[in-house]
């Protein structure tokens, strides 16, 4: 009888050791997953001069990334974006424009023409990237990351919701809820490079100034 008890005790100890090892392995895998989590600073992009920009250069900054267009009804938001940039750039805010022509062909110009338009009409001094896609198979990896981190945007009020419904009806590249619906969707990225807040095209830059201040 005592022999059976000893065998049972040994088996129980083995089970406890095995459970402990599995727990350690699981914790190690979880820590590795957290360590390997993508951040905005893991990406690179070409600017409008064709020069590669390593987003590691923005380590510790708050980024406001916007898909822009020159011939859009929301284009006057360039003024508000530049105002935010001027007000907070010395505190660590970087506004970055990614021109895109996926929405009703409202950004038909070359990178040089886009820059000239922004400078002459809106006094834009914040960085502009090369024109590219934000939805679909050719979407820039930065926007795939941003959409994964912040897949939804909020539309408040009847007018905003009516605009959302209208845009859904005409946006040809909008296929799923996380896709960008239209020009001037804004992504505010915290200093950790992971936390992202998303603001709809109808949201004026001044509407989320408090969010910027909180991230700074």
**Which member of 5, 31, 72, 118 is catalytic?**
72
In angstroms, rounded to a whole number, what is the distance separating the alpha carbons of residues 12 and 15?
Answer: 5
Taking only Cα atoms into account, the Rg of the chain, rounded to an integer number of angstroms, comes to 24
**DSSP letter assigned to residue 133:** B
**Three-state secondary structure of 45-83:** EEECCCCEEEHHHHCCCEEEEEEECCCCCCCCHHHHHHH
Decide if 5 is catalytic.
Answer: no
Query: Which residues, in sequence order, are CB contacts of 69 under 8 Å at separation 6+?
Result: 75, 99, 100, 101, 103, 106, 107, 183, 184
User: Which residues are marked as active site?
Assistant: 72
């Amino acid at each position: 009888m005592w022999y059976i008890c000893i065998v049972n005790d040994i088996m129980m100890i083995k089970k406890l050791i095995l459970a402990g090892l599995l727990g350690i392995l699981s914790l190690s895998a979880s820590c590795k997953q957290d360590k390997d989590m993508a951040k905005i600073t893991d990406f690179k992009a070409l600017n409008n001069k064709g020069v590669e920009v390593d987003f590691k250069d923005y380590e510790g900054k708050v980024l406001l990334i916007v898909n822009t267009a020159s011939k859009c009804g929301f284009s006057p938001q360039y003024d508000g974006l530049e105002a935010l940039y001027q007000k907070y750039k010395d505190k660590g805010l970087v506004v970055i424009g990614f021109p895109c022509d996926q929405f009703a062909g409202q950004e038909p110009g070359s990178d040089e023409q886009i820059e000239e338009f922004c400078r002459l009409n809106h006094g834009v001094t914040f960085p502009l990237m090369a024109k590219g896609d934000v939805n679909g198979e050719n979407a820039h990896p930065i926007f795939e990351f941003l959409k994964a981190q912040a897949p939804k945007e909020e539309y408040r009020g009847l007018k905003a919701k009516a605009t959302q419904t209208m845009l859904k009806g005409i946006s040809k590249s909008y296929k799923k809820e996380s896709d960008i619906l239209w020009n001037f969707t804004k992504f505010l990225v915290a200093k950790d490079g992971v936390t992202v807040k998303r603001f709809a095209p109808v949201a004026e830059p001044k509407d989320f100034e408090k969010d910027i201040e909180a991230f700074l």
